[in-house]
Homo-oligomer: A and B are copies of this chain.
């Protein structure tokens, strides 16, 4: 299975005439054939119209049919795993084992969201039955539930070519919620995107679903994505990427005649607070764990720890020195794209010029897309006085912030912006006194971690991957990972005094789908 180089518009191909671009191999630092054609204005219009035409079919598609479709996609991806991994490896320079693991996670995610759709608890179905005799006014019959928003545009991210891309979490959760999906492929892996897109379309056909259920649009620049976000038939957007990119799309969507939600998961510095007891108890394991978390995937994880907050002491200084030595010995890694490598170097340069910031460990990369860990240190007072130090550097870089004491540590916590995660390392005796720090970090982050590391995300019913701005565009009200991710693509609809047969099956008297429902204030199934 090899890419052809075109967009996939419903069951057809993109129109000719779009600007072409080539995929890029970071290892060889070279572009390679075949060329990919950007989607045209006609492609965008057709994809949106097909999705809008498919939307009413999708509203009525049962949760179990949605689940069957998501399982079919997973099966198709697994069958072609070799082709997908081979292509993705060439386009991303990510190691094969990582890509195979990520593909497995992607398939697990598709199945989990399919199971969630089938189970239907997420619909929040509620019934208040009528009481015509109630005084002073009769009580009407009200039945309500979540219903799909309609066509969703998903922007594939560069750093997870499977799990956050064409068949990733946004796409899977939007399908599970009942929405047709148009993916804007990330130009960092256009071939992988096309292959995954074709496997989704095979599942669309095999499951007898309408054309317009899925389209894939290519573009090396921003025009296609912007046009999609502005298209009146598009009802919501999912995005994973930079703060700059996410904010641009959020602003575009907010300025539409009919504003629509953009769920953008953006920048995050993922602070790690290391208390003295943790260092005293397990310095070596802590250094090893933090080193692994900070360098996995060449630091290109949304949850990469970028800020290490430590209280100054001889033991802490020794621990940071150990960590710095580990970092200095870390082999050079290959970044995903030339522009990510360039931005990493720029970010590092900017940070190194800030007052009070000292380099802890730094080596120059030897190849164009290469990167080695570059860590810095500074004192809390300098950190608190310079907002530039709050900015994420995407890649293997972190800033160690030295605090005088626990009070200054708390002040650093209070100074942070929104983040996907915040981590505390402490020993058992310290834990009892951590209430205030925990409370402050729970205001700053979507996930607070105790004695663990932020990378490595469990996809479950309880996970939260989101957070206050700028970690996410919606202030942390939703999660882009886990079964709650479906809720992003839905709106509430209430039916008043309806004939049973006119109601969606989810709300009918007989509960034909066996859903958990809130009936007159009590949850029943």
A residues adjacent to B (C-beta < 8 A): 56, 59-60, 121, 124, 126-128, 137, 139-140, 142-144, 147, 149-150, 235-236, 250-251, 254-255, 258-261, 418, 428, 431-432, 434-435, 438-439, 442-443, 445-452, 456, 458, 460-464, 466, 468-470, 473-479, 484, 490-499, 501-502, 516, 518, 521, 523
Contact = CB atoms under 8 A, between A and B. Distances in A.
Contact of A442 (B126, B147, B260, B462): B147
A441 to B, nearest CB: 9
B128 A458 contact: yes
Contact of A523 (B59, B473, B516): B516
27 contacts: A121-B523, A126-B461, A126-B462, A137-B456, A139-B458, A142-B460, A150-B443, A250-B254, A258-B418, A431-B499, A434-B502, A435-B502, A442-B493, A445-B493, A447-B493, A447-B494, A448-B495, A449-B497, A450-B496, A450-B497, A450-B502, A461-B518, A462-B518, A466-B492, A475-B491, A476-B493, A479-B492
Interface centre among A250, A260, A450, A518 (most CB of B within 10 A): A450
A502 B147 CA distance: 37
A521 B115 CA distance: 11
Contacts of A150: 443
Contacts of A475: 149, 235-236, 258-261, 491
B523 A463 contact: no
Given A259-B469, A492-B477, A521 B461 contact: yes
Contacts of A235: 475
A469 B254 contact: no
Nearest to A428: B499
Interface centre among A121, A127, A143, A521 (most CB of B within 10 A): A521
A291 B149 CA distance: 34
A439 B431 CA distance: 54
Given A144-B463, A258-B468, A261-B475, 20 more contacts: A60-B439, A126-B461, A128-B462, A142-B460, A147-B442, A250-B254, A251-B255, A254-B254, A254-B255, A258-B469, A259-B475, A428-B499, A446-B494, A448-B493, A449-B497, A461-B518, A462-B494, A468-B491, A477-B491, A523-B523
A498 B469 CA distance: 24
Given A452-B497, A479-B492, A484-B492, A462 B143 contact: yes
B492 A446 contact: yes
Going nearest first, the 8 A-B pairs with the smallest beta carbon separation are: A464-B494, A254-B254, A476-B491, A142-B462, A126-B462, A128-B462, A449-B496, A447-B494
A263 to B, nearest CB: 11
A43 B502 CA distance: 53
Contacts of A443: 56, 59, 150
Interface centre among A121, A128, A445, A473 (most CB of B within 10 A): A128
Contacts of A60: 439
Nearest to A235: B475
Contacts of A432: 501
A258 B428 CA distance: 37
Interface centre among A150, A432, A443, A497 (most CB of B within 10 A): A443
Contacts of A59: 439, 443
Interface centre among A144, A452, A466, A470 (most CB of B within 10 A): A144
Contacts of A439: 56, 59-60
A381 B472 CA distance: 45
Nearest to A128: B462
Contacts of A448: 493-496, 498
A143 B140 CA distance: 37
A126 B122 CA distance: 13
Contact of A458 (B124, B142, B473, B478): B142
A501 B56 CA distance: 49
